[in-house]
Structure 1
Amino acid sequence: MTILVTGGAGYIGSHTVLALLEAGNEVVVVDSLVNANAESLRRVCALAGRHVPLERGDVRDRAFMETVLRRYGCTAVVHFAGLKAVGQSVAEPLDYYEVNVAGTVSLLQAMRASGVRSFVFSSSATVYGEPQVLPIPENHPFAPASPYGRSKAMVEEILADLAGSEAGWHIATLRYFNPVGAHESGAIGEAPSGIPDNLMPYVAKVAGGKLSHLRVFGNDYPTPDGTGVRDYIHVVDLAEGHVRALDHLAAGPGHFSVNLGTGRGTSVLELVAAFRHASNREIPCEIVERRPGDIAEYYADPALAGSLFGWQAKRSVREMCADTWNWQSKNPNGYDEA
């Protein structure tokens, strides 16, 4: 198969491109490089010993997407391209709906015009909002609390409508929990611009001396140590989930949605302790007030992915921290030095 990966130069995208290559697929990447660096793909190619064409462009450009799909004879699309910062989505909601929702619709139209009907969508556990039950199953009601989460939920509804109205579509929606970690080589990893929004890259910057300390938002939650609990999943496990989902779609048309998580919660302080052990560095912490809207616990019921296509997360929190530290140590400034 020749797989088109949109946003393939990004964090999850680059790891998935590598996993697809290692599984024997041909891959072409479309990326605007607004929030990514082409150096990640150069390193993926070096790791795989294979060439990956990079077409720089925007998924909102339907004519461009049709040209790419036809030029390379693509048989499936894995769609990562989009905006992903929850806080930014609150400040700039129109951008999120235009890129994440309208961009996906434009891409689907280009696929239909090009005769490509196999689609894997990068969704998010944020579609669930505050959990009514733990662990969170796929049939949990949607109640997203931000424009980012709502944009993902909207696309999921569009995909369900499309699958129900047109026979022949093969659609998988993968709802991620908290992707962390890096490839074991340390060649590719998460490289946020500016101060990281997410916990793991922030902790890595503190361990590496780039930031002075970690602010822990609240230690009075009803959790074992009072800090927030989340389901952290290694990005390589996540990438392998996309390969398994594509293989399952190849068996026949249909539409399914699954959680990709470990099913286990890890608190902020547990993650800090694991990272301290992995890096052998001090990680100064300051306890501050809770942030409005933060939730005490959030973790997946990942059983459906196992029963449907034999996937489960394998890597431990210690491995996530060790691989993140290996990446951070080798690339203290991300891809900017390349």
Structure 2
Amino acid sequence: MKKTILVTGGLGYIGSHTVVELQESNYDVVVIDNLSNSISEVAEKITSITQIPVKLYIGDITDESSLKTLFEQETIGGVIHFAAHKAVGESVQKPFKYYRNNIDGMITLQKVMHQHHVKTIVFSSSCTVYGDTKHSPIAETHPVTEAISPYGTTKLVCEQILKELCRYSGFKGIILRYFNPVGAHPSTCIGELPLGVPDNLVPYITQTAAGIREKLTVFGNDYNTADGTNIRDYIHVVDLARAHVKALDYALSMNQDCEIFNLGTGTGHSVLEVIQAFEQTSGISLPYVIGARRTGDVEQIWADATKAVQILNWTPQYNLHDMMDSAWKWQVALSQNNQKRASKPA
């Protein structure tokens, strides 16, 4: 019998790609999203890929009564939890917004899950919990450290909450610490769709290439790296989404427990390397300037994802040029769709 999986934040960037992979893996999916960083039309785009309607609840996970209504109406077999604010820079400027949404939302969700005897959850965490580490590639056994941003703090706190619920309340939890998701679905129906000015590198690159932004700012070129710019482990969003399905499969088969997995390619790329890969893939020369370092940015970090490969039987399939190619094709499709809408008579 197919299980019904609740995906919180399921219309967001990673959430929408994961909904596609879940549906294509024969799960029934229910989505809750408050549309704070997404649009309702994404549900139609998912359906256009899978030919399966998305059951959507517009609501906020900090609203306990709305969550209770959802759990009373649906027979939920497990949860994949994405719904959270995620911009490191914004979290430094608006810490209480992040504490309220990310931590309170996690508590409320797990309280309602407990009340309805739903104990399986895959939690979207982040490599930010490792702090400004000097030890890459970094494995799950590396100690977490004091976070360098309120966003990182919320991930640390939520991880601890889940660990304790697994220890004392019978939850079965998977914590996925992933690195830097980029790219888009090969259909170009869904991809990264930041509302307003992008906080992440790749959508800023593609918007600059499309003429939406005047130029790209590289935040710092005086780091202790080969070219002076930050190094990150970039992972294609489809690879990441498939890992969530693998993690869910594994969680449903577990006894009471909590497991942690890194999700990355195991290769670090600097900001300038990403720019160069995009230019090579697209044939477009990007205008960029060097700016000051950005508060909360880690110098360099990339993953040791051996555990996910061995236990989840998951291996990333896409390289950096694949990621840049899909991101650019998504941006081109997005611009073409926007032009079509603008040309339609009012």
Map of 2:303 onto structure 1: 300
- Residue 118 (1) aligns with residue 134 (2): no
* Deviation per residue, 1:38-58 (Å, 9 max, x gap): 111110011100011110111
Q: Count how many residue pairs are aligned between Structure 1 and Structure 2.
A: 337
Q: Structure 2, unaligned stretches of length 5 or more?
A: 342-346
CA distance in 1, matches of 2:91, 2:322: 31
- Residue 165 (1) aligns with residue 163 (2): no
Within-5 A mapping of 1:210-225: 210-225=212-227
CA distance in 1, matches of 2:298, 2:97: 26
CA distance in 2, matches of 1:94, 1:334: 36
* Deviation per residue, 1:271-291 (Å, 9 max, x gap): 111111222211012123333
- Residue 31 (1) aligns with residue 63 (2): no
- Residue 283 (1) aligns with residue 305 (2): no
CA distance in 2, matches of 1:292, 1:110: 36
For residue 242 of structure 1, report the CA deviation from its aligned partner: 0.4
CA distance in 2, matches of 1:84, 1:217: 18
CA distance in 2, matches of 1:138, 1:334: 42
Aligned to 1:187, which of 168, 186, 189? Answer: 189
SS of equivalent to 1:298: coil
CA distance in 1, matches of 2:263, 2:207: 26
For residue 294 of structure 1, report the CA deviation from its aligned partner: 3.4
CA distance in 2, matches of 1:244, 1:301: 18
Q: For residues 149 and 112 of structure 1, do their structure 2 counterparts lie closer, same or farther at Cα, with a shift above 3 Å needed? A: same
Question: 1:15–1:236: 8 Å Cα contact kept in structure 2?
Answer: yes
Map of 2:344 onto structure 1: none
SS of equivalent to 1:142: coil
Q: For residues 250 and 37 of structure 1, do their structure 2 counterparts lie closer, same or farther at Cα, with a shift above 3 Å needed? A: same
Question: 1:101–1:154: 8 Å Cα contact kept in structure 2?
Answer: yes
Which moved further from structure 2: 221-230 or 27-36? Answer: 221-230
SS of equivalent to 1:138: coil
CA distance in 1, matches of 2:340, 2:249: 37
For residue 219 of structure 1, report the CA deviation from its aligned partner: 2.6
CA distance in 2, matches of 1:70, 1:202: 41
Question: 1:179–1:238: 8 Å Cα contact kept in structure 2?
Answer: yes
For residue 337 of structure 1, report the CA deviation from its aligned partner: 7.6
- Residue 328 (1) aligns with residue 339 (2): no
Within-5 A mapping of 1:1-338: 1-143=3-145, 144-167=147-170, 169-253=171-255, 254-332=257-335
Q: What's the Cα RMSD here?
A: 1.7
SS of equivalent to 1:262: coil
CA distance in 1, matches of 2:79, 2:229: 39
CA distance in 1, matches of 2:280, 2:53: 37
CA distance in 1, matches of 2:174, 2:108: 18
Question: 1:37–1:335: 8 Å Cα contact kept in structure 2?
Answer: no
For residue 236 of structure 1, report the CA deviation from its aligned partner: 0.4
Question: 1:63–1:110: 8 Å Cα contact kept in structure 2?
Answer: no
Percent identity among equivalent residues? 44
For residue 139 of structure 1, report the CA deviation from its aligned partner: 2.0
For residue 116 of structure 1, report the CA deviation from its aligned partner: 0.7
* Deviation per residue, 1:148-201 (Å, 9 max, x gap): 10001001001111111123x211011111010000111100111121111101
CA distance in 2, matches of 1:109, 1:81: 16
For residue 293 of structure 1, report the CA deviation from its aligned partner: 4.7
Question: 2:221–2:290: 8 Å Cα contact kept in structure 1?
Answer: yes
Q: For residues 92 and 293 of structure 1, do their structure 2 counterparts lie closer, same or farther at Cα, with a shift above 3 Å needed? A: closer
TM-score normalised by structure 1 residue count: 0.96
For residue 334 of structure 1, report the CA deviation from its aligned partner: 8.3
